[in-house]
Amino acid sequence: MVFRFEEGDAVLMRSSEPGKPSYVARVEAIEATDARGSNARVRVRWYYRPEESMGGRRQFHGAKEVFLSDHFDLQSADTIEGKCKVHSFSSYTKLSSVGNDDFFCRFEYNSATGAFIPDRVAV
């Protein structure tokens, strides 16, 4: 399946572990590794699921919640499975129908320290 993506898009990245859900990332930059533009690589900023964070999943985390992290990587564009949408919590709660590719984000996450910004929200 061929699809177009651009910088700023949220995407689903294939996991290398069978049975594990796709990772969620934001495309920060796109690079071609040859003159024809094939073998593209993408610089991504990862979203973490609560269970991937230092504190783990808590009772107040939503099933589709992700945290925008400070973790960046360079990945092959071939590992992108498709686009997804990461909404603000307010926008997410107004969706009439939540699809498999809909997520929401209330926090930024520091992957080295485990700190969140903001450090608290109303639940």
Percent of the chain with pLDDT over 70: 89
pTM: 0.88
| Residue 122 within any structural domain of the chain | no
Whether the per-residue pLDDT at 36 is higher than 80: the answer is no
> What are the residue ranges of helices labelled H in 11-100?
89-93
In 3-state terms, what secondary structure has residue 2? coil
Per-residue model confidence (pLDDT) at position 32: 76
Per-residue model confidence (pLDDT) at position 76: 93
CATH classification of the domain holding 27: 2.30.30.490
> If you average pLDDT over every residue of the chain, what do you get?
91
Question: H or E stretch including 48?
Answer: strand 41-48
| Residue 1 within any structural domain of the chain | no
What is the domain count for the chain?
1
Average pLDDT over residues 12-32: 93
Split at pLDDT 50, 70, 90, the class of 39 is confident
| Residue 16 within any structural domain of the chain | yes
What is the domain range of residue 67? 10-114
Q: Measure Cα distances from 33 to 1, 4, 86, 111, 122 in Å.
A: 21, 18, 28, 29, 45
